[in-house]
Amino acid sequence: MIKEILVNVAGDRLDRFVADKIDESRERVSNLIKDGHILVNKQVKKVSYKVSEGDLISVTIPEPVSLDIEEENIRLNIIYEDDDIAAINKPKGMIVHPSGNIVTGTLVNALLFHFDKLSEINGVYRPGIVHRLDKDTSGLLLVAKSSKAHISLQKQFKDRTVKKEYIALVNGGFKEDKGEVDLPIARDKRNRKRMAVDPEGRNALTSYEVIERFGKYTLLRINILTGRTHQIRVHMAHIKHPLVGDIQYSRGKNEFGIEGQLLHSRMLEFDHPITGKRMKLEAELPEEFQGVLKKLRSE
């Protein structure tokens, strides 16, 4: 895939500028520059090159190298399955697909074992994967078995006709019963592994509704119209209500001794990619999440 970018504002480093434009990590972009896959005015430049107004940057994303991804007999909680799609209740702590040095223990390894066919549209790294959840976010994730199903689901996510509902436990109390955060998100300029609210970022809309109040904590029902990386975690942290257990976007330890955010993809509503029937799938909260709520309710 080749993408051309015309620079309108001068002064930023080449690696940082491109990383923001193509939504990749700065490390990944730096490697692409060093390997000659990113050119400025058809010339190779250093990662520290300061872009100038009018520069034409050509980015070539090389085809992924074929990996020998092993099938693994990892237990899956399959919520729904037919000839074209499946819905998995992904556990907290599971990475969705192989990347870098991580080639085992992922959801993809498990999918290859449990299903005879998976869509190949996303290549060898992500067979069947239509969308993603963070490693420590649990809940519903759709899988495409056929290319036709994959294309349809992908379009539904792009057109924002898929309804996504999450349950989250956040720090702090809310005076209001509902609200929304409409703020753009981009990669954090100081830490490329994080995302942040940034006026130059991509638009992101998160709406929330209080389900239950626990004094220092609040249980929320959250709907996202957009699907930006770490969107809920970033927006909640920005309004001073970081998710309980989120070690990346909150400070200090939590009283429950857990690591990884209490965030669960509870419901997905979409059109079946083949029949067109409107479907609504739900997944119950994991035991750890329920245990924390039980403790709060008992207090």
Angle made by CA atoms 238, 241, 243, in degrees to the nearest 5: 105
Judge whether 76 and 121 are in contact, CB under 8 Å: no
Residues 110 and 127: their CA atoms lie apart, in Å, by 11
Catalytic: 198? no
Coil vs helix vs strand at 155: helix
What is the maximum span of the chain, computed from C-alpha positions, in angstroms?
65
Residues 244 and 3: their CA atoms lie apart, in Å, by 39
240 strand-pairing partners: none
Strands (DSSP E) found in the chain: 2-6, 38-40, 43-44, 56-60, 78-81, 85-90, 138-144, 163-171, 178-182, 185-187, 195-197, 205-213, 217-224, 263-271, 278-282
Catalytic residue among 15, 134, 136, 246: 134
CA distances 212 to 168, 240, 284, 290, 299, Å, are 11, 18, 17, 13, 14
Tokens of 14: 């080449």
Coil vs helix vs strand at 195: strand
Judge whether 138 and 92 are in contact, CB under 8 Å: yes
* Residue positions annotated with a catalytic role: 134
